[in-house]
Structure 1
Amino acid sequence: MKHFSEISATAERVVDAAESLIQERGYNGFSYDDVAKLVGIKKPSIHHHFATKGELAAVVAQRYTHRFKESLLQIEGHHVKAQDRLTAYADLFEKTFSTNKHLCVCGMLGAESSSLPDLVNHEVERFFDVNVDWLTHIAQDGQRAGQLLSVLSPEGIAETYLSILEGAMIVGRGMQKGTGPSHVASHFLKALTIA
Structure 2
Amino acid sequence: MKHFLEMSPMAERILDAAQGLIQQQGYNGFSYDDVAKLVGIKKPSIHHHFPKKEDLVAVLVQRYTHSFRGELLNMEGRHASPMDRLAAYAAVFEQTFNRDRRLCVCGMLGAESGSLPDSAADEVASFFKVNLDWLTQIMGDAQNAGLIKKNCDAESLAQAYLSALEGAMVLGRGMRTVQGPADIARTFLSTVSA
**TM-score w.r.t. structure 1 length?**
0.98
| Paired residues for 1:64-143 under 5 Å | 64-143=64-143
2-structure distance, mates of 1:13, 1:132: 29
5+ residue gaps, structure 2, are none
Q: Distance in 2 between matches of 1:156 and 1:82?
A: 16
Check conservation: 1:83, 1:193, Cα contact below 8 A: no
Give every structure 1 segment of 4 or more consecutive aligned residues whose post-TM-superposition deviation is greater than 3 Å: none
For 1:7-42, what per-residue CA distance to the aligned partner results, in whole angstroms no more than 9, with x for missing partners? 100010000000000000000000000000000000
**Displacement after TM superposition at 1:83 (Å):** 1.1
Please state how far the C-alpha of 1:151 moved relative to its aligned partner: 1.5
Answer yes or no: is the 8 Å Cα contact 1:104–1:166 preserved in 2: yes
How big is the alpha-carbon RMSD for the aligned residues of Structure 1 and Structure 2?
0.5
SS at match of 2:120: helix
Q: Which amino acid aligns with 1:117?
A: P
Count of residues in correspondence between the two structures: 194
Counterpart of 2:176? 176
SS state at 1:177 partner: coil
CA distance in 1, matches of 2:165, 2:178: 15
What percentage of aligned pairs have identical amino acids? Answer: 59
Counterpart-to-counterpart distance in 2, 1:98 and 1:133 = 26
Equivalent positions of 1:25-64 (< 5 A) are 25-64=25-64
Unaligned 5+ runs, structure 1: none
Q: CA deviation at 1:60?
A: 0.9
Does the CA-based 8 Å contact 1:4-1:63 persist in structure 2?
yes
SS in 2 for 1:164: helix
> Residue type matched to 1:123 in 2?
E
Q: Residue 2 of structure 1: CA displacement?
A: 1.1
